[in-house]
Structure 1
Amino acid sequence: MSDRAENTLLVLPGLLLLALAFFVPITQMLVLSVSGENGPTLDHFTRFLGDPYYLNVLWRTVRLSLIITVICAAVGFPLAYIMARVGPRLRLWLIVLVILPLMTSVVVRTFGWMVLLSRSGLVPQVLRDLGLAERNFSIMQTELAIVIGMVQVLLPFMTLSILGVVTRIDRRLEEAARTMGCTFMQTLRTVVFPLAVPGIVAGSLLVFTLSASSFVTPNLLGGSRIQVLAASIYRSVTQTLDWPFAAAQAVILFAGILLILVPYARLAGGRSNG
């Protein structure tokens, strides 16, 4: 048996599993999104794109995902740099602290934020005591609550993505920059940050896609007033029982994520070839 045939036999079970677990459901979703009483139709997509309410839901999903991604990058980059430059023992404990929230259910963490951000919670109470908020102030059921909860959930993905790149940056490059007269911040801006861009891009891609498709945290912290696309899909399936329209919304979400994945894959391929 040739090497090619052996490789094909080895890959075949994985390809079959991928087809059953990914391509078959995606195909069914695509078929359902264009199904109508009288045959294939694009009415479900037309309904979504022609309704200001659903366009607003789509825009809110994209906007919140971008805000969450930017905040995670702004916090994750310095955190990853500190983790990469401290001693091995302290680095291990910092990595454990970053990974530890991932060992707790997202639902449990979200309920914790619901307690902290509610009208009688710790955060609004502190703001009221400092005179920064009114008596009935509450962060729950706002976009701010969604951003806070999602940043806490997704920050480990960004930090670990950047950490994997920063740890491979030669410290002698930073020492050379400092020798040439750069300050610490100038060294970060001109040496470390450009070399860490692949990790930032990978982390941003991961955070954005997870944020855009997240349902539990936005639904619990935002409530019914602040709808995102995943919650709208869930409502179409469970409340209105409009499965074709829910599939159309899922296709739009899937296509939007692909629009981000494809350029990144080409960029990553170009870097590797270069």
Structure 2
Amino acid sequence: MSLSTNTGSVGTPLLPPKGVSARVLGGIAEDATLSAPGVFLIILAFILPIGQMLLLSIEGASGGLTTEHFTRFLGDSYYLGIVWRTLRLSLLITVIAAVIGFPLAYVMAHVGPRLRLWLIILVILPLMTSVVVRTFGWMVLLGRGGLIPFTLWKLGLVNRNFTLMQTESAIVIGMVQVLLPFMTLSVLGVVMKIDRRLEEAARTMGASFTATLRTVVLPLAMPGIVAGSLLVFTLSVSSFITPSLLGGVRLPVVAGSIYEAATKTLEWNFAAAQSVILLVGVFLVLLPYLKLTGRRHG
């Protein structure tokens, strides 16, 4: 006695009906058609430039492949100091932006709709202005005779000729002001979705306002803080205009070093090697961060 199947004999695999196969193939073809423009743009605007940069970074003077550009960068303490300064300042900027952005987002989420709208406008408004204009404004405020040094001098804290220009403090102040909206808006989107009854329940159970923030609001807002931190860090580590204008030639960063090599000394291969190192460095820093927070907060 033999058992019949869709294919007609025992032991042969069951195949889906022809109509199902046609629908599956049709769905795949439709998905491919819809995603084709986006994939094409990603290849054109991202994959090809990255590939060209990788090729330039390993291209030697005679046209062969070489690692001399990477060796030159990684073997020079001057360039390693630039990398360390860039990472250190970017982490500091990210921490300060989070410390300021979370309370600001919390206040914006708990005020009335009309006041929240005006606060959002005030946060977004600096983004409507060129980063160069904002940086020049900080140069006026932080430079010798500017409002901040003049105020500190009047308070007797510094000398008359004191200036914050060409210091790491100036870079941090300017970059935090530039990137704070990204942190605030990222946290605001998450805090707005937190159920107010959770805070009320914590207060009813005897928790103080600070304890409620620490044990209820902060853990629930962590996905927004993570997203904002990633934005702020990646933007600050690759920033060029603000660090160059506020820090000057005495405090170069990696992006400024790449600009110098590509435009002044015309060492395109060396500039490409620095770009690859910056890209890999960002991935190495962010990978553990994403791995630790991805499972808990997606």
TM-score interval, normalised by the smaller of the two chains: over 0.9
My pick for the range that moved more, 251-260 or 99-108, is 251-260
**1:183 maps onto 2:184 in alignment:** no
Aligned partner of 2:277 among 252, 263, 267: 252
Query: What's the TM-score once normalised by structure 2's chain length?
Result: 0.89
How far apart are the structure 1 equivalents of 2:79 and 2:183?
29
How far apart are the structure 2 equivalents of 1:258 and 1:62?
12
Corresponding position of 1:210: 235
Give the SS at the match of 1:204: helix
Task: State whether residues 99 and 156 of structure 1, in contact with CA within 8 Å, keep that contact through their aligned partners in structure 2.
Answer: yes
How far apart are the structure 2 equivalents of 1:26 and 1:260?
19
Q: Residue type matched to 1:89 in 2?
A: R
Q: Residue type matched to 2:164 in 1?
A: I
Deviations 1:130-179 (A, max 9, x none): 00111211000111000000000000000000001111111111111111
Aligned partner of 1:240 among 256, 265, 274: 265
Query: What's the TM-score once normalised by structure 1's chain length?
Result: 0.96
How far apart are the structure 2 equivalents of 1:26 and 1:263?
23
Task: State whether residues 205 and 260 of structure 1, in contact with CA within 8 Å, keep that contact through their aligned partners in structure 2.
Answer: no
How far apart are the structure 2 equivalents of 1:191 and 1:176?
10
* Number of residues of Structure 1 aligned to a counterpart in Structure 2: 273
**Off by >2 Å, runs of 4+ in structure 1:** 259-273
Identity %: 69
Max Rg structure: 2
Residue 260 of structure 1, CA deviation: 3.8
Corresponding position of 1:153: 178
How far apart are the structure 2 equivalents of 1:188 and 1:254?
36
**1:93 maps onto 2:148 in alignment:** no
**1:14 maps onto 2:38 in alignment:** yes
How far apart are the structure 1 equivalents of 2:232 and 2:209?
28
Residue 270 of structure 1, CA deviation: 3.1
Give the SS at the match of 1:208: helix
How far apart are the structure 2 equivalents of 1:265 and 1:202?
10
Q: Which structure 2 residue ranges, 5 or more long, are not aligned?
A: 1-24
How far apart are the structure 1 equivalents of 2:290 and 2:204?
37
Highest relative contact order (Cα 8 Å, sep 6+), 1 or 2?
A: 1
How far apart are the structure 2 equivalents of 1:269 and 1:181?
32
Residue 37 of structure 1, CA deviation: 2.4
Q: Using a 3 Å threshold, how does the CA distance of structure 1 residues 272 and 134 change in structure 2: closer, same or farther?
A: closer
**1:167 maps onto 2:192 in alignment:** yes
CA RMSD of aligned residues (A): 1.4
Corresponding position of 1:62: 87
Task: State whether residues 145 and 161 of structure 2, in contact with CA within 8 Å, keep that contact through their aligned partners in structure 1.
Answer: no
**1:82 maps onto 2:107 in alignment:** yes
How far apart are the structure 1 equivalents of 2:36 and 2:160?
63
Corresponding position of 1:29: 53
Corresponding position of 2:127: 102
Corresponding position of 1:2: 26
